[in-house]
Amino acid sequence: MPRAITNPFLLFHRFLSGDAVCRTAPFALYMAFIALEEVLQFLSGKGVTAVSEQVRLFLYPVKAGSVALLLFLLRKQYTEIVSRDFIRPATAFAALGVGLGVFALWISMDFPAATMGTLRGYDPYLCREEGIRIFLTVSRLAGAALVVPFMEELFWRSFLIRYIIAHDFTTVPLGRFTWPSFLITAVLFGLEHNLFLAGITAGIIYNLFLYLSRSLAACILAHGVTNLALGLYVLHTGKWHFW
């Protein structure tokens, strides 16, 4: 008879090791932090508690760091990420082009009709102390360019786009096309963002790139290029609402 596992850490690790859970948990953790921000903002607006804007600034490094740690702990589960694709010249150049293309479209789609909710943005210059301001800026840039692409691509273009095709999604090859999976993931990806039209457009392009490259690493790289370019653009122009 198999011996029961009583170690809580091992039980938690086994739970996270499930094919679906390990690809959704980092995304769920990230969204939980966003929900926490919204709750704090709501309570502050109602006068229940005082939450300064700086609290939200400092919450981002915690959010990005927590998700990065979870991705690192689960890294062996992500067998669909082929490391050599990151340095393959053809893949890298294609990802660069796709990423910059999405960036160019993104910054042109911030008009009111394409916006959902309030664009609060992330402005590290609200912090007066230079050392802390630099830390917050680097954390935001690294989180957006390195952590978010892995977290989102694992959820949207590894898990969900295949799960819609078959619940046993690991039997579905990366890059298999169906209209429902293509459209549903593109729209939901867009609705995740305040700039929903830009998000839907990005979701469509990233999905198409997955179908062409059949490489999740290529999509992660393209997504990272978009977010890095957007971050540098924000720092250069001061258009914090894009962050």
Contact between residue 81 and residue 215 where contact means Cβ atoms under 8 Å apart = no
For residue range 199-211, list pLDDT tens digits in order: 999 999 999 999 9
| 137: amino acid identity, one letter | T
Burial (CB < 10 A; 0-12, 13-18, 19+), residue 4, is: exposed
pLDDT for the residue 2: 45
pLDDT for the residue 44: 75
In the chain, where are the structural domains located? Answer: 8-242
Place of tokens 């294609």: 94
Residues whose CB falls within 8 Å of the CB of residue 24, separated by 6 or more in sequence, listed in order:
155, 159
Q: Which residues of the chain have pLDDT under 50?
A: 1-2, 4
pLDDT for the residue 49: 74
For the chain, the three-class secondary structure string (H helix, E strand, C coil) is CCCCCCCHHHHHHHHHCCHHHHHHHHHHHHHHHHHHHHHHHHHHHCCCCCCCHHHHHHHHHHHHHHHHHHHHHCHHHCCCCCHHHHCCHHHHHHHHHHHHHHHHHHCCCCCHHHCCCCCCCCCHHHCCCHHHHHHHHHHHHHHHHHHHHHHHHHHHHHHHHHHCCCCCHHHCCCCCCCHHHHHHHHHHHHHCCCCHHHHHHHHHHHHHHHHHHCCHHHHHHHHHHHHHHHHHHHHHHCCHHHC
| 128: amino acid identity, one letter | R
Average model confidence (pLDDT) across the chain:
92
pLDDT for the residue 1: 43
For residue range 55-78, list pLDDT tens digits in order: 889 999 999 999 999 999 999 999
